[in-house]
C-alpha cells in the first residue's frame, strides 16, 4: 500500500496487476495479446459534511457534528466525497461512519439529487433532494468505532458523490464529522478494476496476418506513471521503465493520472502546466520515502501533490499561479526557500483568484533566505483550506492572506522572530495602501483549533489586520501563547477609519499573549468577544486585557481573567485562576475544579463550537477557553 492524497481528500491506494500469455506450439503471441488486469482501492475522506434540520429550515450547521433523525421533524446529514484514481469500473464502494451514539436499528443511507452544495451554505431549504434508500447499516453501540455499509449502487465512477444519512425513527443519532479528526472522519472506500486485455490470438507459422489498423488511445483516468533516480526520460514511464525527472512526468503524464515518484533528490525546478481532469486531478505522489525537488510551480488546474517536498529554491519553494482551480499540496516539507514556502502569485486586476485549494499536512521552515519579507504561506485565493501544517522560522510572517472563504484549522505556528525592524505575525492581511502587494479584503474567514506560540519581539502579533473591507471572521478554540506584542490587532489606526465587521473571538486561551495588551479592537470594528481565557496577559493602564477603541462596538461576556492579567468587569465574566493542568509546562487543559468548566456562552451570543482544540465534542454547557473538559 502507498499513501495517496487527492484534491479535497486523503486516501490510500493499492494496485495489483497480473499478466498471462499462452501460445500453442509453432504459434506466436504479440505484446497486445497479453492479458492485464489492475485493481485499485482508494479511501476517500469526506471533503464536506453538514447536517440540516427540518425544524430550522434556514439554519446552517457548517462544521458542527453530524446527526440523523428519520421521524418528523427530520434531521439529515449530507456527506460529500471526491472519487478519483479509478483504474476501471467501480466494483465496490463502502461508506464508513463513526457514530457517537448507539442504535438498535442502524442508520439509513440515501442518495442525493446532486453534489451542488457547500459545507457552510447548506440548509434544509436549499439542500439537494433526498433520493432512494441505498442501504441500512447493522445495529451498533456508542463505542463501535467505524460502522461500514455497502453503497456500491450509488457510486458509478469518478467525481463528486453525495450520500445522505439519517436514522430510522424518532431517536436523534450522532456521528463524527470530518472536523472531529482525520482518523475518525467519514470515508468512502472505493475499489475499481480495469478490464483484462484481449485473449491471446494465435496465427500458425509461417502464415502471416495483415498488419492491424491502430488508432491512438484516449487518455484514461487512473493511469499510473513512474519516476525514479535510476530511470531515463526516454523510457515509457512504467514501473519497470521509469522516467528520470519529475519535469518529464509534468509534461508527459496523461491528464488525471497518478505519478509515483521514487524516494530521492531531484534538484529540479518543476513547472506543472498541463491540467488534470475536473474531478480527477493529476497527482504527483511519493512512492515511499522522501522526494525532494528544488522548486515546484503549479500553473494548471486540477493538480495534486502528496509527499513531494522542495528545498533550496532561490524563490518560492512552491508557486501557485492565479486563475486556477482544484489544487492540493499535502504532506510536503518546504525548507530553505529564498522567498516564500508556498506562495500564490498576486493576480493582476484582470485575473481571477485561484479557488479550491487544500494545503494540508505540510512542514514549512526556514523561509526567506534571500529576502526579508519571506512568509511560510502567502495566499491570494478563494475557498482555501490550510490544515494540520507546521509553520516556523520565517523571517517575516507565517501567513499573509487575501480572499474569500479561508479556513485555517489545526495548524501549529511557532518560533517566529524578526531582527529586521518590521513586525512579525502569525496571520496578517492589509488593504488600502495600494502598495503592490495587498489583495482583496479577507471575508468569511475561519481560524480554529490552532496552536500559536513564540511569536517574539516587541512587534510580534498573533493576528494583525489593516484596511477596509474585511468582514465575517470567526476565531475560536485556539491557543495564543508567548506573543511579544499584541495577540490580536483588529484595525490599525492611520491606515483607514474602517474596522472589521462581523467578527467573533470565542473560546481562545491567551497565555502571556501580549506585552502591551492581548487584543486591540480599533476603529469601527464590530465584534463579539466571549468565552476566552486571559492568563498572565497584559492590559493598557486601567484596562482589561483587551482594549476597545471609542468607535468600536464589542459585545463581551463569559470571559475569564487570571494570573497577572488585569481584572475584567462583565455580567457573566470571571476573575479567577483557571486551574490549568500545568501552565508552566504548557498543558492548558482544565482541571475538574476549574471555574472555566461549564462557564462559557452556550449559544446566547455565538453558535456553540462543534469541537474544542484537540477535537473533543461539545456535549453540555460550554467551557471557557480552548479546551472542553470531557
Per-residue model confidence as pLDDT tens digits over 323-363: 999 999 999 999 999 999 999 999 998 899 999 999 999 99
User: Are 436 and 381 within one domain?
Assistant: no
Of 546, 415, 507, 521, give the one whose Cα is nearest residue 464.
Answer: 521
| Cβ-based neighbours of 378, under 8 Å, separated by 6 or more | 340, 342, 343, 344, 399, 400
User: Are 389 and 429 within one domain?
Assistant: no
* Domain end marker among 140, 166, 189: 189
Q: Which pTM was predicted?
A: 0.69
Spatial separation of the C-alpha atoms in residues 88 and 373, rounded to whole Å: 48
User: Are 463 and 326 within one domain?
Assistant: no
In a domain, residue 75? The reply is yes
In a domain, residue 12? The reply is no
In a domain, residue 34? The reply is no
| Cβ-based neighbours of 475, under 8 Å, separated by 6 or more | 447, 448, 463, 488, 503, 504, 505, 506, 508
Spatial separation of the C-alpha atoms in residues 487 and 520, rounded to whole Å: 9
State the pLDDT at residue 119: 84
Of 329, 417, 419, give the one whose Cα is nearest residue 377.
Answer: 329
CB 7 within 8 A of CB 281: yes
State the pLDDT at residue 434: 85
For 512-547, the pLDDT digits (tens) are: 998 889 999 999 999 999 999 999 999 999 999 999
Spatial separation of the C-alpha atoms in residues 317 and 1, rounded to whole Å: 28
In a domain, residue 627? The reply is yes
User: Are 183 and 300 within one domain?
Assistant: no
Q: DSSP assignment of 471-499, as one string?
A: EEEEEES-EEEEESSEEEEES-BTTBS--
Domain enclosing residue 310, as ranges: 221-396
| Cβ-based neighbours of 248, under 8 Å, separated by 6 or more | 227, 233, 237
In a domain, residue 31? The reply is no
User: Are 110 and 246 within one domain?
Assistant: no
In a domain, residue 412? The reply is no
User: Are 286 and 346 within one domain?
Assistant: yes
CA-to-CA separations, 27 to 35, 90, 200, 204, in angstroms, rounded: 17, 36, 11, 5
* Domain end marker among 363, 396, 429: 396
216's grid cell: 491512438
Spatial separation of the C-alpha atoms in residues 503 and 403, rounded to whole Å: 16
What is the b/e burial string over 201-236, where b = at least 16 CB atoms within 10 angstroms of the residue's CB? ebeeeeeeeeeeeeeeeeeebbbbbbbbeebeeebe
User: Are 392 and 428 within one domain?
Assistant: no
CATH number at residue 358: 2.160.20.10
The beta strand positions in 518-602, using DSSP E, are 519-521, 526-530, 533-535, 546-548, 553-557, 560-562, 574-575, 580-582, 587-590
User: Are 562 and 597 within one domain?
Assistant: yes
The beta strand positions in 550-602, using DSSP E, are 553-557, 560-562, 574-575, 580-582, 587-590
Q: 28 — phi, psi (to 5°)?
A: -125, 145
| Cβ-based neighbours of 478, under 8 Å, separated by 6 or more | 447, 448, 449, 450, 451, 452, 508, 509, 613, 626
CB 103 within 8 A of CB 24: no
* Domain end marker among 133, 167, 189: 189
User: Are 234 and 94 within one domain?
Assistant: no
User: Are 423 and 507 within one domain?
Assistant: yes
Spatial separation of the C-alpha atoms in residues 82 and 621, rounded to whole Å: 36
CB 445 within 8 A of CB 409: no
State the pLDDT at residue 32: 34
State the pLDDT at residue 441: 97
Of 232, 255, 261, 301, give the one whose Cα is nearest residue 158.
Answer: 255
Q: How many CB atoms are located within 10 Å of the residue 28 CB? A: 13
- What is the tally of helices (H) and strands (E) in the chain? 1, 51
Q: What is the total count of domains within the chain?
A: 3
CATH number at residue 101: 2.60.120
In a domain, residue 67? The reply is yes
H or E element in which residue 296 lies: strand 291-298
User: Are 477 and 551 within one domain?
Assistant: yes
Spatial separation of the C-alpha atoms in residues 625 and 140, rounded to whole Å: 34
Spatial separation of the C-alpha atoms in residues 552 and 342, rounded to whole Å: 35
Chain centroid to CA 351: how far?
Answer: 25
User: Are 185 and 230 within one domain?
Assistant: no
State the pLDDT at residue 420: 61
515's grid cell: 506585552
Of 548, 93, 16, 47, give the one whose Cα is nearest residue 330.
Answer: 47
In a domain, residue 301? The reply is yes
Q: How many CB atoms are located within 10 Å of the residue 340 CB? A: 29
Residue 82, SS3 per DSSP: strand
Q: How many CB atoms are located within 10 Å of the residue 466 CB? A: 23
- Read off the DSSP letter of residue 23: -
- Give every residue of the chain whose pLDDT is below 50, as ranges: 1-36, 197-221
Amino acid at each position: 500500500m502507498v499513501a495517496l492524497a487527492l484534491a479535497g481528500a486523503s486516501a490510500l491506494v493499492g494496485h495489483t496487476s497480473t499478466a498471462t500469455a499462452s501460445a500453442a506450439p509453432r504459434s506466436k503471441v504479440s505484446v497486445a495479446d497479453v492479458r492485464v488486469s489492475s485493481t485499485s482501492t482508494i479511501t476517500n475522506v469526506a471533503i464536506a459534511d453538514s447536517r440540516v434540520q427540518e425544524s430550522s429550515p434556514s439554519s446552517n450547521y457548517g462544521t458542527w457534528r453530524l446527526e440523523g433523525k428519520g421521524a418528523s421533524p427530520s434531521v439529515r446529514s449530507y456527506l460529500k466525497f471526491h472519487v478519483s484514481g479509478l483504474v476501471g469500473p467501480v466494483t465496490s464502494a463502502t461508506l464508513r461512519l463513526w457514530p457517537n451514539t448507539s442504535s438498535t436499528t442502524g442508520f439509513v443511507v440515501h442518495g442525493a439529487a446532486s453534489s451542488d452544495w457547500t459545507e457552510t451554505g447548506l440548509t434544509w431549504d436549499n439542500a439537494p433532494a433526498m433520493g432512494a434508500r441505498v442501504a441500512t447499516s447493522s445495529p451498533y453501540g456508542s463505542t463501535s468505532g467505524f460502522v461500514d455499509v455497502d453503497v456500491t449502487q450509488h457510486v458509478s465512477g469518478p467525481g463528486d458523490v453525495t450520500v445522505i444519512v439519517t436514522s430510522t425513527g424518532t431517536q436523534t443519532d450522532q456521528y463524527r464529522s470530518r472536523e472531529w479528526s482525520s482518523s475518525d472522519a467519514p470515508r468512502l472506500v472505493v475499489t475499481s478494476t480495469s478490464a483484462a486485455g484481449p485473449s491471446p490470438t494465435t496465427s500458425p507459422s509461417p502464415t502471416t496476418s495483415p498488419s492491424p489498423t491502430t488508432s491512438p488511445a484516449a487518455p484514461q483516468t487512473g493511469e499510473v506513471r513512474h519516476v525514479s533516480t535510476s530511470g531515463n526520460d526516454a523510457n515509457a514511464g512504467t514501473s519497470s521503465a521509469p522516467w528520470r525527472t519529475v519535469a518529464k512526468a509534468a509534461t508527459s503524464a496523461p491528464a488525471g493520472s497518478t505519478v509515483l515518484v521514487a524516494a530521492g533528490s531531484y534538484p529540479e525546478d518543476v513547472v506543472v502546466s498541463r491540467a488534470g481532469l475536473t474531478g480527477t486531478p493529476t497527482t504527483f505522489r511519493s512512492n515511499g520515502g522522501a522526494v525532494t525537488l528544488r522548486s515546484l510551480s503549479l500553473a494548471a488546474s486540477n493538480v495534486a501533490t502528496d509527499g513531494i517536498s522542495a528545498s533550496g529554491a532561490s524563490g518560492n519553494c512552491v508557486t501557485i499561479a492565479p486563475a486556477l482551480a482544484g489544487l492540493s499540496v499535502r504532506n510536503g516539507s518546504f525548507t530553505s526557500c529564498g522567498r516564500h514556502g508556498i506562495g500564490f502569485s498576486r493576480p493582476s486586476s484582470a485575473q481571477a483568484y485561484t479557488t479550491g485549494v487544500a494545503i494540508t499536512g505540510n512542514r514549512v521552515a526556514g523561509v526567506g533566505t534571500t529576502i526579508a519579507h519571506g512568509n511560510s504561506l502567502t495566499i491570494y485565493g478563494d475557498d482555501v483550506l490550510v490544515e494540520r501544517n507546521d509553520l516556523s522560522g520565517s523571517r517575516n510572517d507565517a501567513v499573509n492572506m487575501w480572499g474569500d472563504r479561508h479556513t485555517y484549522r489545526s495548524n501549529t505556528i511557532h518560533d517566529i522572530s524578526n531582527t529586521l525592524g518590521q513586525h512579525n505575525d502569525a496571520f496578517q492581511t492589509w488593504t488600502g495602501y495600494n502598495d503592490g502587494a495587498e489583495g482583496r479584503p479577507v471575508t468569511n474567514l475561519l481560524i480554529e483549533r490552532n496552536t500559536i506560540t513564540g511569536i517574539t519581539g516587541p512587534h510580534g502579533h498573533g493576528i494583525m489586520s489593516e484596511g477596509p473591507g474585511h468582514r465575517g471572521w470567526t476565531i475560536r478554540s485556539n491557543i495564543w501563547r508567548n506573543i511579544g506584542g499584541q495577540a490580536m490587532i483588529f484595525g490599525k489606526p492611520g491606515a483607514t477609519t474602517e474596522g472589521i465587521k462581523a467578527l467573533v473571538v470565542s473560546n481562545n486561551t491567551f497565555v502571556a499573549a501580549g506585552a502591551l495588551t492581548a487584543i486591540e479592537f480599533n476603529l469601527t470594528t464590530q465584534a463579539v468577544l466571549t468565552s476566552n481565557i486571559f492568563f498572565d496577559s497584559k492590559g493598557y493602564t486601567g484596562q482589561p486585557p483587551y482594549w476597545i477603541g471609542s468607535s468600536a462596538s464589542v459585545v463581551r461576556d463569559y470571559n475569564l481573567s487570571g494570573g497577572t492579567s488585569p481584572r475584567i468587569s462583565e455580567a457573566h465574566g470571571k476573575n479567577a485562576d483557571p486551574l490549568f493542568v500545568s501552565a508552566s509546562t504548557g498543558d492548558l487543559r482544565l482541571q475538574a475544579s476549574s471555574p472555566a468548566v461549564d462557564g462559557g456562552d452556550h449559544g446566547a451570543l455565538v453558535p456553540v463550537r462543534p469541537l474544542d482544540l484537540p477535537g473533543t465534542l461539545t456535549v453540555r454547557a460550554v467551557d471557557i477557553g480552548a479546551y472542553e473538559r470531557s
